[in-house]
């Protein structure tokens, strides 16, 4: 009997140890606080009552989480003290060591202890030693320390080769270039081996630094751009092998910087065909990326929802078109129109390639749905740009508005907040350009380019308002802001029409009587213009109030009340002193009738506003 009790107690202890082991696994491998006793898996009842053969087996305890390649297990969060001690201090120490070594080398150089060849050799050996030492430290688990040493060693080797070529002229350009390329490739290989994105970034940065370090000031675009193109392809290969999407963004920005710098310093009209060819090559390298949907890294890392991929896909065509614009705008605007049409056709073709083969299998996290609509939006934008390229500059504003509408459509279909934000940015750029940059020369009332541009902006804002109301309700602050913007733009457009109409009248009168010729017609035109503005504001306020009552929208009614208040101020302060005769009478009577009508509607309480206010019901 005693033996049975001892066996039962032993089994109970085994069960408790099993629970504790599970808790420790959760704590150390999941980076979470240890679960409670109730959350741990229980040992089967059979283990408590049966003999030794029923002891918990390996299948009873949850297995340890295995670390797969590229998917490390979660680690406990690093507090500030540990971060300072483990990462910051070693980096500061490395800087101190390098500073001391630099001063030693300076002292040796000043005293002629080391010649040019010795200086370069010391630098190269120091860099190689740092990289080798960092690899050993990484194998022992000091990864942050090893990354810093590796980056420092690579930088020392680059600078040593630069000194050997630029300062001491010990190496010819091809040898120095080949050595730097070898360092870049070695850094990338080490990054892949250690699965370290920071080392891959160092490799890409070193690769883009090579042309700068070896520059002789000569114009060699074929060599430069061929090397940049190979470097871009190299970064794409790295992104394909590892989910290091930021490398793609770095390569894209580096390519743009090099091309723009070359254009500003060396470009001439004789080199246009060469520049266009390489600009097209750079564009295609990044433009065809969405079609590479069979690469594991792209699919696993949700290409379609990555902000980096979306940014590159969105900015790349416009950077390319602006490059073409800079080279062709002065004498070949027709070629620009054809280029815009070609880009539109290209992106329509890309969008068709991104359609899922099986509609039922389409997932919003996959590349197809989002990028299909995004590329269609880009195509629509270039179609908009292509049509009016030979007309006035306000078509750029129109293109921004159409682009914002397309982005809103794509963002809504793909349920992507990033594209919806891009909609606001494109729309804001268009509105700013419309209000402060564009100049219009109109000859007709309403049927002119300025009024059409305002209508497009209002239509886009209307789409945004509809979407905000659908997602967040009409009481949301964003809906209020958008509706206010719609009415402000509408009033500005109508006021501009009034101003242009009377401007043409004044111009015609000036042409017949001269600028300084006194005339009663001048005075009459000023009075008519002031009255027209007042009548326009009153009429717009009345329509806005009517729509507010019809749609039962307090937002529209409040805007109507604010507009009517501004009209009251204008009539009583400005019109009272400037208008005379019948127009003054009409202005005040019309305003009085409108205000009395609004007051009567509110007193009738047709919308039951008082009942809603007493019950607290939202309006």
Each residue's pLDDT tens digit, 497-550: 999 988 888 887 776 655 555 566 777 788 888 888 888 998 998 899 888 888
H/E run at residue 419: helix 417-436
Decide: helix, strand or coil at residue 71: strand
Contact yes or no for 160/114 (Cβ under 8 A): no
Higher confidence at residue 115 or residue 177?
177
What are the residues facing 71 on neighbouring strands? 68
Residue 31, strand partner residues:
none
At 488, the pLDDT band (50, 70, 90 cuts) reads very high
For residue 264, is pLDDT > 80?
Answer: yes
Task: Render pLDDT for 275-294 as a digit per residue (tens, 0 to 9).
Answer: 999 999 999 999 887 766 54
Pick from 107, 105, 99, 131: nearest CA to 119 = 105
pLDDT for the residue 94: 59
**The pLDDT of residue 62 is above 50:** no
Of 221 and 372, the one with more pLDDT:
221
Is residue 53 pLDDT above 70, yes or no?
no
pLDDT at position 619 over 50: no
Residues 6+ positions from 254 with CB-CB distance below 8 Å: 204, 208, 228, 231
The share of the chain scoring above pLDDT 70, in percent, equals 72
Instruction: Report the range out of 75-79, 98-102, 463-467 with the highest average pLDDT.
Output: 463-467
Look at residue 341 in the predicted model and tell me its pLDDT: 86
Our CA angle for 12, 14, 15, nearest 5°, is 65
Query: How far apart (Å, rounded) are the C-alpha atoms in residues 177 and 175?
Result: 5
In percent, the amount of the chain with pLDDT more than 90 equals 21
Q: What pLDDT score was predicted for residue 263?
A: 94
Distances (CA, A) of 504 to 172, 256, 510, 513: 71, 47, 10, 14
- Tens of pLDDT, residue by residue over 314-370, are 899 999 999 999 998 777 778 888 898 899 889 888 877 765 544 444 444 444 456
CA distance 284 to 273: 16
Look at residue 540 in the predicted model and tell me its pLDDT.
92
Q: Residue 68 phi/psi, 5° resolution?
A: -95, 160
- Beta-carbon contacts of 383 under 8 Å, excluding residues fewer than 6 positions away, are 340, 341, 344
The pLDDT of residue 76:
52
Rounded CA-CA distance 35/24 in Å is 9
| Residue carrying structure tokens 């416009």 | 318
Which whole-number Å values give the CA distances from 576 to 331, 521, 522, 559, 595, in the listed order?
56, 20, 19, 25, 17
Q: pLDDT tens-digit profile of 390-412?
A: 555 677 788 778 878 888 888 78
Distance CA 272, CA 33 (A): 64
Domain ranges, ordered by start, for the chain: 2-54, 334-423, 477-615
């Amino acid at each position: 009997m005693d033996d049975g009790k001892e066996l039962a107690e032993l089994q109970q202890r085994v069960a408790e140890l099993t629970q504790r082991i599970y808790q420790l696994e959760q704590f150390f491998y999941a980076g979470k606080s240890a679960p409670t006793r109730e959350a741990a898996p229980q040992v089967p009842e059979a283990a408590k009552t049966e003999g030794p053969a029923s002891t918990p087996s390996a299948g009873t305890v949850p297995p340890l989480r295995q670390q797969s390649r590229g998917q490390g297990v979660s680690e406990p969060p690093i507090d500030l003290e540990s971060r300072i001690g483990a990462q910051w201090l070693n980096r500061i120490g490395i800087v101190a060591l390098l500073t001391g070594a630099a001063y030693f080398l300076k002292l040796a150089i000043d005293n002629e202890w080391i010649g040019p060849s010795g200086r370069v050799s010391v630098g190269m050996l120091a860099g190689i030693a740092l990289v080798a030492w960092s690899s050993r430290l990484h194998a022992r688990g000091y990864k942050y320390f090893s990354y810093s040493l590796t980056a420092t060693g690579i930088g020392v080797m680059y600078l040593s080769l630069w000194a050997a070529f630029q300062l001491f002229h010990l190496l010819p350009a091809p040898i120095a270039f080949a050595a730097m390329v070898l360092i870049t490739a070695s850094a990338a290989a080490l990054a892949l081996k250690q699965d370290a994105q920071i080392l891959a970034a160092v490799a890409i940065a070193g690769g883009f630094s090579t042309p700068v370090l070896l520059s002789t000031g000569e114009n060699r675009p074929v060599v430069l751009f061929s090397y940049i193109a190979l470097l871009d392809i190299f970064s794409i290969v790295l992104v394909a092998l590892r989910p290091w999407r930021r490398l793609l963004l770095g390569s894209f920005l580096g390519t743009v910087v090099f091309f723009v710098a070359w254009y500003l310093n060396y470009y001439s009209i004789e080199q246009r065909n060469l520049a266009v060819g390489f600009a097209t090559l750079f564009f295609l390298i990044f433009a065809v990326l969405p079609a590479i949907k069979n690469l594991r890294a792209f699919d696993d890392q949700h290409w379609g929802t990555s902000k980096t991929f979306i940014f590159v896909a969105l900015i790349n065509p416009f950077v390319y078109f602006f490059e073409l614009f800079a080279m062709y705008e002065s004498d070949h605007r027709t070629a620009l129109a054809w280029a815009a049409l070609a880009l539109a056709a290209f992106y329509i073709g890309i969008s068709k390639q991104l359609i899922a083969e099986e509609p039922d299998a389409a997932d919003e996290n996959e590349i197809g749905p989002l990028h299909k609509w995004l590329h269609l939006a880009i195509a629509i934008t270039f179609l908009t740009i292509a049509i009016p390229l030979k007309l006035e500059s306000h078509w750029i504003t129109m293109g921004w508005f159409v682009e914002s509408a397309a982005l809103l459509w794509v963002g809504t279909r793909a349920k992507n907040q990033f594209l919806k934000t891009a909609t606001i940015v494109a729309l804001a750029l268009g509105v700013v350009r419309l209000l402060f940059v564009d100049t219009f020369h109109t000859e007709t009332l309403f049927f002119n380019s300025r009024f059409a541009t305002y209508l497009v902006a209002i239509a886009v804002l209307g789409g945004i308002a509809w979407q905000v109301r659908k997602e967040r309700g009409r009481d949301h602050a964003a809906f209020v802001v958008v509706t206010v913007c719609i009415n402000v733009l509408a009033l500005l457009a109508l006021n501009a029409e009034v101003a242009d109409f009377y401007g043409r009248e004044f111009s015609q009168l000036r042409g017949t009587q001269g600028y300084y010729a006194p005339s009663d017609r001048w005075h009459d035109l000023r009075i008519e213009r002031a009255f027209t503005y007042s009548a326009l504001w009153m009429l717009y306020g009345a329509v806005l109030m009517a729509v507010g009552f019809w749609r039962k929208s307090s937002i529209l009614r409040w805007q109507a009340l604010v507009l009517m208040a501004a009209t009251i101020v204008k009539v009583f302060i400005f019109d009272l002193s400037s208008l005379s005769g019948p127009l003054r009478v009409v202005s005040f009577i019309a305003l009085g009738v409108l205000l009395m009508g609004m007051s009567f509607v509110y007193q009738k309480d047709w919308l039951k506003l008082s009942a809603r206010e007493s019950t607290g019901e939202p309006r």
